[in-house]
Structure 1
Amino acid sequence: MAEIIVPELAESITEGTIAQWLKQPGDTVEKGEFIVELETDKVNVEVISEEAGVVSELLAAEGDTVQVGQVIAVVGAGSGSTASAPAPAAQSEAKEEVKATEAPKAPVAEETTNEQDRTIASPAARKLAREKGINLSEISPVDPMGRVRVQDVSAHGSAPTTTKAAPASAASATKEDDGRTTREKMSRRRQTIASRLLEVRQNTAMLTTFNEIDMTNVMALRSRKKDKFFEDHDVRLGFMSFFTKAVVAALKKYPYVNSQIDGTDIVKNNFYDIGIAVSTEGGLVVPIVRDADRKNFSEIEANIGELAKKARDNKLALSDMSGGSFTITNGGVFGSLMSTPILNGTQVGILGMHTIQKRPVAIGNEIEIRPMMYVALSYDHRVIDGKDSVGFLKTVKELLENPEDLLLES
């Protein structure tokens, strides 16, 4: 017999949430095979079984908070079925149903649970479906690959249903608001994001300064070079590498923007680890492009692409997101025209990119239509004065409006 224990996750993380059981009681598991997915404050972690055998017992349900070192499952000797048995919650429901009706209803519950287990769904979608009493197999997902997401569960839940009774919490909420609102518990990561953003707002003297960039030249350069760039490097040339290079050059010119406060000291970073904010289903994450000053355009683009894919697949490691010195966030991908980004952790600066919009601008004594982008620098005024903040943003603007200079300055 072997126990599945919540492993050491990171120095600052002591607990996690069961996001999804990948094996159920009765399932065969091989040594080194993933058995459960844990959601922590920062990343999702898949836990392996150290022994081969059959899952005999699950000691925690999806959605439960578990501590590092806690036993959450037991793997026994022997061989079992690869088909999933009911999860603990489903088993309990089946037992109660048998007691209430004095009839053997368990096989029906097992069949329903097996159908749900075979449905491809995100952990968040499974959790919401369980809370709303919705059978995942009855949901028609929008995703062409058939993956059920939170939006699909919410849309299905808003339609009239006559099958399962909702859990007590959902039933009481429905009685209270007559179905006009939907209550959804924050995921662990969303709770962490919320508390940290609030902490930044309360504990920093955050200000934001704005400028606008004429994207004509960088767009023209990218248009001329993108095909050859892809042919040579097998990676697409986007705008993020230009902005990353411009930011690195500006940080070298204004080193206090690349610093942090430690007590009564200002610690200036002599490295350039640039965080790139990525939106995922579970919330915003900020993986780090390490030593961006030492990387060329293709290396930066490849690095960003790899990190973004890992973020979307919940495969980011804690090491992918720790220790950044400055952050870039791009609200423009969602159509944002202007915003005031919030500082990331202990960093004292963050650059916000926005959507490119054609606008009339004065060029000399003429009015021309140019592709313009508003950019915003949020900064901690305790460290950075107006001169440095404005100068930093002006440097980024000038380099992007004259992108050939990036080869010399970055």
Structure 2
Amino acid sequence: MSEVRIPELAESITEATIVNWLKAEGDRVSQGEVLAELETDKVNVELSAEQDGTLTKILREPGDTVQVGEVVAIISQGAGNEEGTAASPDIEAVPADVKAASPDIEAVPADVKAASPVQTPAPAHVPSGIEANAAQPASTANAVRSAYGEEAGADTHGEGGRLATPAARRLARELNIDINQVRGQDPLGRITVEDFKANQTGQPQARQAKAPAAQNRQAGGKAASSGSFDKPVEHIPLTRRRKTIAERLVNAQHTAAMLTTFNEVDMTAIMDVRKRRQEKFVKEHNIKLGFMSFFTKAVVGALKFFPLLNAEIKEDEILVKKFYDIGIAVSTNEGLVVPVVRDADRLSFAGLEQAIAGLAEKARNKKLALSDLQGGTFTITNGGTFGSLLSTPILNAPQVGILGMHKIQLRPVAIDKEHSENRPMMYIALSYDHRIVDGKEAVGFLVKVKELLEDPETLLLEG
């Protein structure tokens, strides 16, 4: 028998959330086979089996938060029994007639059964040493609670100490349901997610009743502070990644003296180069010549003139980085991630386009490694792909600069005092940390980016 533990993920990551199990109890697994998918603050990772055998026991459910090193499953080297549950020397399986009465029941450790002697006879269909529901002695209930990671006597969401799986407690909080109103099928009295589904027609009572419309009107029409509504709402739990994004963005605004300066770029020259060179570029490099390579080249060139934009603050020092690892923001269904193009100053236009496209594909397919997201020195984000005309990007801490690209739009531009033309124009924005970057440097940086983009031939010279 071997324990499946949460592996070391990264230096800064100590916990993860189980997204789903790809294997069920009783399934045969091979060494290296993926058992479950984990969501961390930054990327999704796979949990693999370290030996061949049978997945005897799953100890944590989807949605549970688990710590690095925590045991989440048991793999037995023996084959599963006829009922699909492998034998394990440390876990005593529940008899078939009890399992049929409660399909969600889990095996009870032998030491839990021995924790307290039976004081009253058990029903005929319940194994010796286990009493159904609330009839079990308090010491036995506490032992079982301890076995499932719950503190003895703890009040979990108004349950008065009633046993419930972590997923069931979470569902009760999200739906604002009193678990005491849910009928359970588990002989141990433990409430599971399946019990919620089975009791959907039973109309469980909410812990806090909705305030009548008359009371709302007397209160000036404001919604009750409890968050109840008279109209339908959908409860969507924040994912771990969305929580992390929120924390990092708020932290950046609280710790940095963030300001934003703006300029606009005439994209005529770049669009002309792309039009003339696109076909040949695709034939030679099997990838399109996009805008991101031009902007990355321009950012690197400007950073060489204004190195404090490529720095960070660490305690009482300024660390000026002499390398250029440029983060490119990528939007995914799970949230924004910023994979890093390493040594961007050493890459050609084709190399940049290939690197950016590869990272974007990995991000959308959830294949990014933690190393792809660490160590950037400056970030570029392109809200123009979604139609944004102007925005103020938030710093990607501990970096002190981020460039925002926006939508290209035809606008009349004065050529001289007597002539004007419609030109493809783009607003660009630079957010910077005023603690180490002064306005003069920030404006100068953005002007340099504008100059390099409007005369793209100089990008080769600056590179």
Alignment TM-score, normalising by the size of structure 2: 0.70
Do residues 189 (structure 1) and 224 (structure 2) align?
no
The residue identity in structure 2 corresponding to 1:201 is Q
Residue equivalent to 2:317: 265
Do residues 376 (structure 1) and 429 (structure 2) align?
yes
Shift of 1:28: 1.9
| Counterpart among 370, 374, 377 of residue 325 in structure 1 | 377
Residue equivalent to 2:296: 244
The residue identity in structure 2 corresponding to 1:373 is M
Do residues 386 (structure 1) and 439 (structure 2) align?
yes
> Structure 1, residues 206-236: CA drift from partner, whole Å, max 9, x if none?
0000000011110110111111111101111
Relative distance call for 1:170 and 1:305 in structure 2 (3 A) is: farther
Residue equivalent to 2:133: none
Distance in 1 separating the partners of 2:441 and 2:21? 50
Q: Once structures 1 and 2 are overlaid, which stretch shifts more, 189-198 or 177-186?
A: 177-186
Relative distance call for 1:73 and 1:234 in structure 2 (3 A) is: same
Q: Is the 8 A contact 2:241 2:335 kept in 1?
A: yes
Shift of 1:166: 9.2
Residue equivalent to 2:65: 65
Q: Is the 8 A contact 1:9 1:68 kept in 2?
A: yes
> Structure 1, residues 44-77: CA drift from partner, whole Å, max 9, x if none?
1101101112211111111100000000011123
Distance in 2 separating the partners of 1:42 and 1:183? 23
Relative distance call for 1:373 and 1:25 in structure 2 (3 A) is: same
Shift of 1:389: 0.6
Residue equivalent to 1:21: 21
Residue equivalent to 2:269: 217
Residue equivalent to 2:149: none
Distance in 1 separating the partners of 2:202 and 2:320? 53
| Counterpart among 340, 351, 364 of residue 288 in structure 1 | 340
Residue equivalent to 1:74: 74
- What is the RMSD computed on CA atoms of the aligned residues? 2.8
Residue equivalent to 1:33: 33
Structure 1: 5+ residue stretches without partners: 86-90, 97-101, 103-126, 133-161
> Structure 1, residues 301-353: CA drift from partner, whole Å, max 9, x if none?
11111111111111111111111100000001111100000000110100000
Q: Is the 8 A contact 1:6 1:70 kept in 2?
A: yes
Distance in 2 separating the partners of 1:406 and 1:361? 24
Relative distance call for 1:246 and 1:95 in structure 2 (3 A) is: closer
Structure 2: 5+ residue stretches without partners: 86-99, 106-124, 126-169, 176-196, 211-227
The residue identity in structure 2 corresponding to 1:23 is K
Count of aligned pairs: 344
Structure showing greater Rg: 2
Residue equivalent to 2:122: none
Do residues 406 (structure 1) and 459 (structure 2) align?
yes
Relative distance call for 1:164 and 1:268 in structure 2 (3 A) is: same
**Larger RCO (CA within 8 A; separation ≥ 6):** 1
> Structure 1, residues 122-159: CA drift from partner, whole Å, max 9, x if none?
xxxxx99xx88xxxxxxxxxxxxxxxxxxxxxxxxxxx
Q: Is the 8 A contact 1:18 1:39 kept in 2?
A: yes
Distance in 2 separating the partners of 1:253 and 1:397? 13
Q: Is the 8 A contact 2:56 2:80 kept in 1?
A: no
Distance in 2 separating the partners of 1:95 and 1:185? 24
Distance in 2 separating the partners of 1:239 and 1:32? 41
3-state SS, counterpart of residue 295 of structure 2: helix
Residue equivalent to 1:341: 393
Shift of 1:169: 10
Q: Is the 8 A contact 1:326 1:349 kept in 2?
A: yes
Distance in 1 separating the partners of 2:279 and 2:36? 43
Identical-residue share of aligned pairs (%):
57
| Counterpart among 392, 397, 402 of residue 450 in structure 2 | 397
Distance in 2 separating the partners of 1:173 and 1:249? 60
Give the helix-richer structure, 1 or 2.
Answer: 1
Residue equivalent to 2:181: none
Relative distance call for 1:3 and 1:251 in structure 2 (3 A) is: same
Distance in 1 separating the partners of 2:76 and 2:204? 35
Once the two structures are superposed, the pairs formed by residues 106-255 of structure 1 within 5 Å of their partners are 165=200, 176-255=228-307
Q: Is the 8 A contact 1:208 1:379 kept in 2?
A: yes
Do residues 360 (structure 1) and 395 (structure 2) align?
no
Relative distance call for 1:404 and 1:170 in structure 2 (3 A) is: farther
Relative distance call for 1:95 and 1:379 in structure 2 (3 A) is: closer
Shift of 1:170: 11
> Structure 1, residues 348-378: CA drift from partner, whole Å, max 9, x if none?
1000000111111111231211111000000
Relative distance call for 1:3 and 1:249 in structure 2 (3 A) is: same
Distance in 2 separating the partners of 1:60 and 1:167? 28
Alignment TM-score, normalising by the size of structure 1: 0.78
The residue identity in structure 1 corresponding to 2:399 is Q
